Chain A
């Protein structure tokens, strides 16, 4: 399964089916995964999955058509390119629509594949999930239930070839332990989750996943709804990651071109506090979002978006770059079943110098937000308005105080960037990439 040529050969073959005056791109992917779920000292389920498919783009006269099929069978590939060709007849002409072309930027020398992970015996994976559940149940007498303890790993490879001369290939694998638990005390129930992700089985940190889940659940016991007011907040690394997941949209070339970005026409201006340096860097191998190529087969590269609060750049794929009169930043993103769009890959903040404790001391009083819910429905990426359910811990005089829950935090993404007091140094490797604590000066807290 690490035979590079087979998948790339297939992609190149399909790209070679381009007719005169046509551009063809084949994005061929396959992967497999194993998931072990343990509950009540029993294997609840053991799943093994194989996935493969191809997405084909055909461009004729500035018109794009796309088709996907969940098969690598040659006959199916022929049908699929025919379908994409037919779809292209119905799109409307756009002079900027074209496939990416080789741009001379070399691929970073990063290897995200670990053969050792493929060789981990199934028994060991199952044993890890059992141990996770056992340790979590034993971690604190108030932990009553562990609804799931999961070990999962996945491997995938992608080959991309175009009739414009691109031929690129990438593979990677990773594994994860994840769990959550219920803590009960005096009739109050709270939940906490813990996750550890890694590229190697041995790098999984089970004790940290257990400690995180226990701490999150037990710290919230007895939590009350706070009073509505404006407060300083510290976002936990997981919560920062959730915000990173939504703040990238207005920094894309697409949002700018289509009049949906609050940052349009603000290049070189201050859009955040000097503490904010925001980068998209898929070549940083510490990030699980790292990948040497983008979804159009161009080399990944570091893109500086906001530098010390000043808007410094946008991310582009080849279409948005062409239409904006600039170069792609290697920021095309896609799933196998869709055409490439543009996104901030491996988006993270430049880490600061203070720990979360030091941030608390600096702010004096506020709330540490440990989890948010409904951010996906509570943020309007066009207007920047956001509002989300939250829970966490109050702090006063720089010390942890009572737990709070069932409140909201609200602001606008623009305002929040300006209100960042400091970024923490507690960098964590999360499933979505790198993240850390962030201290924010002033946010509306809605409660009683």
Chain B
């Protein structure tokens, strides 16, 4: 993407006014997407973005600038802007010797989406639409979206690191609207992987369309959700986002170092039910949150965060690891694009399978809520209070799954919920692809869990 001699010069410029450390991050991003709505292909879009972000660190202060101008002059100007914070330091040019790191490739892309005919992308949208509408007359609207993104990155820093990655992600989603006597309801189904067009060898878009339609129709018969504290059973793969919110964000080292998380200073302590082992794993094959290197050039790693209920470690990026005196980050330094500073972010976060038969967990729940799918969520890491939306859920009555309930939020407190997990199934699935937002930046993340039960969570419904 850039000659390493140019990168070396830019790093030299960045450190000229006295910075301790500098980094150049170059990104070339292309994406294409297609949207079908209201029965027809509304549009195809193509996006192209490229540029570089330059970071200069002096003490605890970071200077940052970015530019879309990848000429030597454009990069020099950005390096000078980023190094303005280090103006107190003293001159001279630092020599930086770069050596290319080779990282294991986490997954090979078989078919780059850019090589696929646009007509083929249009075709899958139409097939999903047809299948969804074919489910029944109650389906009065269908929206289907296809998107692929290719992100080529190059990272170099003044420690001599030089690394690159070619990240390809492809996703597909269908939303169906059903109308009945009780009004309108929606059903949603989505999938996304760090892979190319071969995604569609693995999934059936018509099946996705039918699933979305059936969800919408099922919800027409939904009862109002209960209001108040009840036992909650999460189906496998339905609610990894709960762990992402309930504790994932609280285990990010930037929050830990500012003491804005309930998990700060608790390594070695029992913070969850002994049934819980939580992992953040950027190496997980073609999963949505995987990559070969993070946006600071570190290889992705498999990190155990909670082992049998005991907090074992946090997630780290370069700055936070440096401050804590650790040799390296944990491969969790990520950014939305070259226009942003990296920070500690999750990758694929999941709970490992336990021992119990999932059916037995439901049978042994006299009353409660069974969650088949959770939507997005949010957490206040300082208090641990979190919330997320149930987009498909049912009542459990006398140990049986019964009627569907309408969309509602679930709220809870991270540390409380982790301790109140009293059953973990021997099954496991990853959930839908997620986009995690933090401080205005959005990055792709995965999550997963086995079937499990929380003894009590607050459901925000309207039923008395």
Which A residues lie at the B interface, using CB under 8 A?
Answer: 39-40, 42-53, 64-71, 76, 79-80, 83-84, 86-94, 145, 147, 182, 189-191, 225, 228, 257-260, 262, 337-339, 373-374, 376-378, 380, 382-385, 387-389, 391, 405-411, 444-448
Contacts and interface: CB of A to CB of B under 8 A. Distances in A.
B112 to A, nearest CB: 16
Contacts of B458: 225, 406-408, 446-447
Interface residues of B, number: 74
B60 A87 contact: no
B177 A259 contact: yes
A388 B229 CA distance: 15
Contact of B84 (A46, A68, A191): A46
A405 B458 CA distance: 12
Contact of A262 (B121, B183, B339): B183
A167 to B, nearest CB: 24
Interface in B28-65: 34, 37-38, 40-51, 59-65
Interface of B: 34, 37-38, 40-51, 59-68, 81, 84-85, 118-119, 121-122, 140-141, 177, 179, 183-186, 225, 227-229, 258-260, 262, 339, 341, 375-378, 380, 382-383, 385-389, 406-409, 411-413, 458-462
Contacts of B66: 49-50
Contact of A258 (B38, B185, B229): B38
Contacts of B40: 91-94
17 contacts: A44-B62, A46-B63, A48-B65, A48-B81, A66-B44, A67-B47, A87-B44, A258-B37, A373-B380, A376-B376, A378-B408, A378-B460, A387-B408, A387-B461, A408-B227, A410-B409, A446-B459
Contacts of B85: 43, 46
A445 to B, nearest CB: 8
Nearest to A51: B339
A444 B462 contact: yes
B46 A66 contact: yes
Contacts of B227: 228, 408, 410, 444-446
Nearest to B255: A147
Contacts of A86: 118
A191 B44 CA distance: 44
B114 to A, nearest CB: 11
Contacts of B385: 373, 389, 391, 405-406
Counting chain A CB atoms within 10 Å of each CB, the highest count among B49, B64, B339, B458 belongs to B458
Contact of A447 (B118, B228, B462): B228
A418 to B, nearest CB: 14
Contacts of A405: 383, 385
B34 to A, nearest CB: 8
Contacts of A145: 258-260
A191 B378 CA distance: 15
B409 A377 contact: yes
Given A190-B383, A373-B385, A44 B460 contact: no
B43 A66 contact: yes
B462 A44 contact: no
A387 B48 contact: no
Contacts of B341: 45, 47
A47 B65 CA distance: 6
Given A46-B61, A191-B383, A373-B378, A71 B408 contact: no
Contacts of B411: 374, 389, 406-408, 446
B244 to A, nearest CB: 12
B51 A70 contact: yes
A92 B41 contact: yes
A44 B61 contact: yes
B46 A87 contact: yes
A184 to B, nearest CB: 10
A395 B411 CA distance: 23
B138 to A, nearest CB: 12
A70 B409 contact: no
Counting chain A CB atoms within 10 Å of each CB, the highest count among B44, B64, B389 belongs to B44
Nearest to A68: B47
B46 A67 contact: yes
B48 A383 contact: no
A427 B43 CA distance: 40
B47 A337 contact: yes
A263 B380 CA distance: 35
A171 to B, nearest CB: 20
Contacts of A380: 185-186, 407
Nearest to B56: A46
Contact of A382 (B42, B185, B406): B185
Contact of A387 (B44, B177, B259, B389): B389
Given A387-B408, A446-B460, 9 more contacts: A45-B63, A47-B64, A66-B44, A189-B262, A380-B407, A385-B407, A406-B411, A408-B408, A444-B462
Contacts of A228: 227-228
A448 B225 contact: no
B86 to A, nearest CB: 10
A382 B186 contact: yes
Contact of A377 (B50, B63, B389, B462): B389
B260 A182 contact: yes
B229 A448 contact: yes
Given A92-B40, A94-B40, A259-B140, A378 B51 contact: no
A189 B385 CA distance: 11
A304 to B, nearest CB: 25
Given A189-B383, A257-B38, A389-B385, A70 B48 contact: yes
A188 B240 CA distance: 28
B185 A383 contact: yes
B348 to A, nearest CB: 20
Nearest to B45: A66
A374 B378 contact: yes
Given A44-B60, A47-B64, A189 B48 contact: no
Contacts of B461: 387, 408, 410, 444, 446
Top 8 A-B pairs, shortest CB-CB distance: A408-B460, A389-B387, A374-B387, A377-B389, A377-B376, A387-B460, A70-B49, A87-B44
A342 to B, nearest CB: 13
B407 A387 contact: yes
Counting chain B CB atoms within 10 Å of each CB, the highest count among A46, A384, A387 belongs to A387
Contacts of B42: 64, 91-92, 94
Contacts of B183: 262, 383-384
Contacts of A94: 40, 42
Contacts of A383: 183-186, 406-407
B44 A65 contact: yes
Nearest to B142: A258
A248 to B, nearest CB: 17
A206 B1 CA distance: 45
Contacts of B84: 46
B46 A71 contact: no
Nearest to A376: B376
